[in-house]
A = this chain, B = another copy of it.
């Protein structure tokens, strides 16, 4: 990915945050909106016909830059960087801002579910051997704070045929906030992933 794309996506992430938190008057908002519409028109001169999907990157490997959790070209994605350890264990460190709010000052419980679905699934996912979610169960222990360092981690509990049983959690400074367990399935045809 060119640095131009990365800079654009980071720029839109900052705009999302300012859109939520701005207190300027209607005139200033209208002026900002005009600039944004102009940028959108410029980017829309040539668009993919649909969503980003999975495309071959410059290094020849498949890339999911549009993915809502890890996509480097998706401003909605934090984006998470998943680190793979031994035996399918994974972790990722991140901070979530105003765009991910549910209860005041806290990450929406459903965003925790989104992140845990992805991170638990990453234990089963392998290049060329995608896995999709069969079931996912979440237990909420305490609120997950916005604006603070968080870690999501997961590991494989066991594998039975095409099924990977994974467990994981999100941890904040006060300990585990949400626990999860899930079953991730490698379909025969490999049609789906993520």
Interface of A toward B, CB cutoff 8 Å? 2, 4-5, 7-9, 11-12, 14-16, 18-24, 26, 28-33, 35-40, 42-48, 50-54, 65-69, 71, 73-76, 97-106, 108-111, 113-118, 121, 130, 132-140, 143, 146-147, 192-194
In the complex the two chains form, is B8's CB within 8 Å of A101's CB? Answer: no
In the complex, A38 Cα to B14 Cα: how many Å?
11
Q: Are B26 and A47 in contact (CB under 8 A)?
A: no
Which of B9, B46, B66, B136 lies in contact with A98, CB distance below 8 A? B66
**Is A98 a contact partner of B50 (Cβ separation < 8 A)?**
yes
Q: Which 8 A/B pairs are nearest by Cβ-Cβ distance?
A: A110-B114, A110-B117, A102-B194, A53-B104, A51-B98, A113-B113, A4-B26, A32-B39
Asked if A51 meets B104 with Cβ closer than 8 Å, knowing A14-B40, A113-B117, the reply is yes
CA distance A133 to B144 in the complex (A): 12
Given A29-B5, A134-B139, also A101-B20 (CB < 8 A): no
Shortest CB distance A90–B (Å): 15
Measured between beta carbons, the chain B residues less than 8 angstroms from A2 are: 26, 29
A50 to chain B, nearest CB (A): 7
CB closest chain-B residue, reference A12? B19
Complex Cα distance, B99 from A52, in Å, reads 9
Cβ of A20 and Cβ of B147 under 8 Å apart? no
Contact partner of A43 (CB less than 8 A), chosen from B4, B22, B114, is B22
Q: Do B117 and A109 touch (CB < 8 A)?
A: yes
Report whether B76 and A47 are in contact in the complex, using a CB–CB cutoff of 8 Å: no
A103 B47 Cβ-Cβ under 8 A: no
B40 touches A24 (CB 8 A): no
